[in-house]
Chains A and B, each alone.
Chain A
Amino acid sequence: MNRLFSSRLLPLLATALVLLVLFGAAGAHYEHFFSARVVLNLFKDRAFLGVIAIGMTFVILSGGIDLSVGSVMACSTVLLASLIMERGWPVPLAMAATLVLGAAFGGAQGWIIHRYGIPAFLVTLAGMFLARGTAFILSSRSLEIRHAFYAKNSAWGLPLGEGLTFTLGPMVFVSVLAVAMVVAHGTRFGRNVYAIGGSESSAALMGLPVGGTRIAVYALCGGGAALGGILSTLALGSGDPTRGMGLELDAIAAAVIGGTVLTGGRGWMVGTFLGVLILGTIKTILDFEGSLDPAWLRLASGGLLLGFILMQKVIAIRSRET
């Protein structure tokens, strides 16, 4: 029992427990909460956040932070919408271009951070403004996407019976999660990310490619944000320069609640998945409540984030003592 508590798995167990308690309490309190429809909607609603949070987890594992994801996502939705609707690009080509540009933007941030030793939060804070402003340059208002591809694919999915479908968004989310778990825990690149987050100088002394890995990590995060943007255009049928305000915090919160330590080097991809589900459950509860002020969503996610960070602190202190 004691070993279980001092083990590194404790944060993950706590996260799973919080999710179960939250979901159980909500299920007991509200009728119809325990239903496939609610769970599916939760997945559909949070798919883009999930993809972005996975990219963020890579960055945090490497000891960095990326505050630009919300803006990059918004910029991607507008870019995609204008490429399809105003330039007449074929949809797959436009999506590929959006992904590449998102990854390139992230990679450029990683390069500046690594090459010039400027703090990550500052570079990505500037990136946040750059991407948000660029989104407004591309279009100052929401752009509707009217295209046969979207009409066909936004509702497409695996039928699960009872009129429910496992749509494209959640499908992409789950596949990205699976790939990310393999990459983070089973490849050389993944181990390099953990090593750099654990101690950059040790990693460099061991001859690991610190610079390349760091740039790749930020490129992954930028690409994840662009993919999140693509998913959000699929779900909402439009590109909007104001979308994703404050999303960076949700992504960070999902990673931290899932047990990823903010100083880097420790964490799990599956934890981020649980973190996204917890945030989604809180939002669903607020939706069910209806009359509740949206301000509570911010207070709740702020409080939850703080609680989990404090728990990580306590665990770190206890494991140092033993």
Chain B
Amino acid sequence: MNRFRTPLLWPLAALVALLVFNALASPGFFDVEWKDGRLYGTVVDICNQGARVPMLLALGMTLVIATGGVDLSVGSLMAVSGAVAAVQVNAGASLGQAVGLALLLCSGLGLVNGVLIAKVRLQPIIATLVMMVAGRGLAMLLTGSQMVPFKHEGLTFLANGAVGGLPVPIPLVLGVALLAGVALRGSAWGLFIEATGDNETASRLAGLPTGGVRLLVYAFSGLCAGMSGLLEASNIAAADPARMGDTRELDAIFAVVAGGTALTGGRFSLAGSLVGALLLQTLTLTLYNQNVPPAVAPVPKALVILVVCLLHSPKLREQWGRWRSPSPA
């Protein structure tokens, strides 16, 4: 029985259910068209938009949550990244310079989170909450609190171009996920992360580099947020420091939790988080298709995340178990 309980089962089932609903409710949902050397269609859009923000953020957030922490600053770091890139290309920098600087800064800010948590030993919620505010302030400072439009072919290609018929974000996020997965599962670092989340003290006493693990995951989360911010800015050819990435941290947490990574830390599933992010994006699009105004869309999302968390709750499972079979299995 337990063999079937892979973390992917529930999110995949929910995703399929949503897709079936959409196929019935809006005809042409699965139509995919080949035009000008790339694929077009609703499903491609979901993957593209999902890859641009929730999937990328969820990759970083998965590792952070696996260590028993959380990163609330990802939305603000997206804004920082977009602001840096936009200001840089407007000042005549090359694509490499702009992208490099933005990613470097975001990983650096993520590393600051890590230092505050691993070395100064602040609670992750608090350290990243401070970064959430300060990061937003930094993004607004960089741009003078204005929206910064830019005209730069290279930068707009990142989100609007296509590689092998697919929009750039899709192969990009798959590449990052594959790299991270191979690097973590191919080495002991994946286990180190899970051990740190399981019992930090025991892991440290066993000689694991728990400090290094935490620095690494928060820096990686910053890097993912930076990439996501670049793609988001690239998509609209502008950086919006006040609104970009706002409340996206919940999307990332949603994807991770829905994907079967326990909030208490100790285990993670990158593939699960990617499916969770797709589920979120499909849900968003479904709401949009059903004419739910964007400002109202958080309500069903919040309800779904609560239900998912309740399903994960050991106490609720205990109650269910008692209700279904009076004798312990």
A residues lining the B interface (CB < 8 Å): 65, 112, 115-119, 121-123, 125-130, 132-134, 136-137, 140, 241, 246, 249, 252, 262-263, 293-299, 301-303, 305-306, 309-310, 313
Contacts and interface: CB of A to CB of B under 8 A. Distances in A.
- Identify which of A126, A305, A306 gathers the most chain B CB atoms within 10 Å of its CB: A126
Interface string B297-310: 11101110110011
B296 interface: yes
B100 to A, nearest CB: 24
Interface string B185-216: 00000000000000000000000000000000
A263 B123 contact: yes
10 contacts: A65-B125, A112-B306, A126-B305, A132-B298, A133-B298, A133-B299, A136-B293, A263-B123, A299-B133, A302-B137
Contacts of A118: 263, 309-310, 313
Q: Which 7 A-B pairs have the closest CB atoms?
A: A298-B137, A133-B299, A302-B134, A295-B140, A129-B298, A299-B137, A136-B295
A246 B137 CA distance: 12
Interface residues of B, number: 44
Contacts of A117: 313-315
B137 A241 contact: no
Contact of A302 (B122, B133, B144): B133
Contacts of B235: none
Contacts of A128: 302
B299 A119 contact: no
Given A116-B316, A133-B296, A293-B144, A121 B70 contact: yes
B3 to A, nearest CB: 27
Given A126-B302, A136-B295, A303 B134 contact: yes
A254 B316 CA distance: 35
A112 B312 CA distance: 13
A310 B253 CA distance: 27
Nearest to A304: B130
B170 interface: no
Interface of B is mostly: helix
A137 B293 CA distance: 9
Interface of A is mostly: helix
B142 to A, nearest CB: 9
Nearest to B254: A126
A133 B133 contact: no
A301 B133 CA distance: 8
Contact of A309 (B126, B144, B250, B296): B126
Contact of A299 (B138, B263, B301, B303): B138
Contacts of B247: 129
Given A127-B302, A298-B140, 12 more contacts: A123-B306, A123-B309, A125-B253, A126-B303, A128-B302, A129-B302, A130-B299, A140-B295, A295-B137, A299-B133, A305-B133, A309-B130
B116 to A, nearest CB: 8
A129 B134 contact: no
- Identify which of A123, A263, A302 gathers the most chain B CB atoms within 10 Å of its CB: A302
